[in-house]
Amino acid sequence: MRGDLGAVVKAILLDPEARPAMPMEIDGKIKEPIIRITQLWKAYNATSNSGRYPLVAAYILFGQGPLQSPSVFNFFSPFYAPPGEISNSGLVAPELGIATEYQNTFLTNYFFYQVFALNQTNDALQDDDVYIDFSEEMAIADDADALIDMVAEKLLGGQISATLRTEIGGMLALIPETDSAIRAAETIYFVVTSPEYAYQR
């Protein structure tokens, strides 16, 4: 029907070109840093006591931030191709244009701080601290498989590799089952710093 916007969106998203039957090697892209942190916030109902979500230092932490793009063309060129396999294949990876070692270190450190310090177990949160709530994970933290499944469902759409699952399981085996907060935080941290989380299919 002419003027049916819902039908247009459905046609785009269900087009064979958008959803190939067989996964291809070139499917997907790297998530922008700010998307990675907001995905974590959304999955774990992030909030702050003040109701504000300050991201004034976002550009330093993530290489980008709300309303901080240096030009109208976003934070990176749509034609950027990192040297090596991607460039040699005639492909592009725009988001990697800001994925420097410096920025990746900042992002990984921020994830550590967010998961282990800025969460609902911290009684010393400041008004503007944006904290996450993983109380659901803590409730089942004594069951390693259930814990991994829950975190994978929230952050990876339920698709977790056997390698990542094994690594998390090995780490959980070192933490007492009664230490639910650390078990939950470690599992979340393992996932958000994994290549699987950084990659959007």
Write down which residue in 83, 113, 128 finishes a domain.
128
Same-domain status, 143 and 177: yes
**pLDDT tens digit sequence for 84-97:** 998 999 999 998 88
The total of other beta-carbon atoms located within 10 Å of residue 200's CB is 15
Same-domain status, 49 and 117: yes
Write down which residue in 128, 147, 178 finishes a domain.
128
**pLDDT tens digit sequence for 111-150:** 999 999 999 999 999 999 999 999 999 999 999 999 999 9
CA distance 134 to 155: 12
Does residue 181 carry a pLDDT above 90?
yes
Looking at residues 176-192, what average pLDDT do you find?
97
Per-residue confidence (pLDDT) for residue 57, from 0 to 100: 66
Same-domain status, 142 and 201: yes
Does residue 21 carry a pLDDT above 80?
no
Retrieve residue 161's tokens: 């590799």
- Give the residue numbers spanning the domain of 161: 134-201
Per-residue confidence (pLDDT) for residue 100, from 0 to 100: 83
Per-residue confidence (pLDDT) for residue 61, from 0 to 100: 74
Domain for residue 5, yes or no?
no
Does residue 22 carry a pLDDT above 70?
no
Looking at residues 173-201, what average pLDDT do you find?
95
Same-domain status, 50 and 94: yes
Same-domain status, 108 and 183: no
Per-residue confidence band for 54, with pLDDT thresholds at 50, 70 and 90: confident
Cα dist from 173 to 11, 140, 142, 166, 179, whole Å:
47, 15, 10, 11, 12
Domain for residue 47, yes or no?
yes
The pTM of this model reads: 0.84
Per-residue confidence (pLDDT) for residue 200, from 0 to 100: 85
Estimate the crossing angle of helix 162-172 against helix 180-192, to 10 degrees: 150
- Number of domains into which the chain is organized: 2
